[in-house]
Structure 1
Amino acid sequence: MALHGRAFVAWRLSGADEVRHTGRRLLLSACVTAPPVAVPLAVAVPSLLDHVAPPATLNVLSLMVLPFTPILIGAQVWVWRTFGPTGSTGAAARIPSFF
């Protein structure tokens, strides 16, 4: 994960001439770092599926989450517009935006 994080930071902080090369490095690092996580997860999926909640519980939880989803989306939009690259002022303007 450190390899992928390093490639991501290099991609975000590079100049316009380096974007193509660092983008390829970012893709390569993602392909290298994904299998060590994906393979054990794929092996564990059958045992994980035996321990999921019953469908009735998942239905109740989904009904409880639905009213909060628009609030969370609105909060995310507000944060992005307030602290994003175009709307930032003051101390927040000095923090580099990686997303």
Structure 2
Amino acid sequence: ADRLLALDFQREMQVIFDMLPKKRHTMLFSATMTSQVSQIQRTSLKDPVKVEVSSKYGTVSGLTQEMIVCPAKYKIVYGVWLLNELKGKTMIIFANCIKTVGR
């Protein structure tokens, strides 16, 4: 939710929520609880349940984060290279669309 709201989609999200059936299950996930997310929660969700992760489960101190910036046409090549280079190690690779993941 926070990524959509950062792109100023709040009005569009509200239009979508207003068109949905009143009796529904809605799940809204956000890494941060901004005022915009709180407002969507208040205006669009009925009896919302808020689940927070304890700081006990925060980022591991030894965790490293790295990224590779490359042209879009080479993302798959770099992804395969990265998987081969770090074979046997634990990693998470994020993608912004399912079409990319399917390749």
Higher Cα Rg, which structure: 1
TM-score range, shorter chain: under 0.3
Higher relative contact order (CA 8 A, sep 6+): 2
Considering fraction of residues, name the structure with more helix: 1
**TM-score (norm. length: structure 1):** 0.24
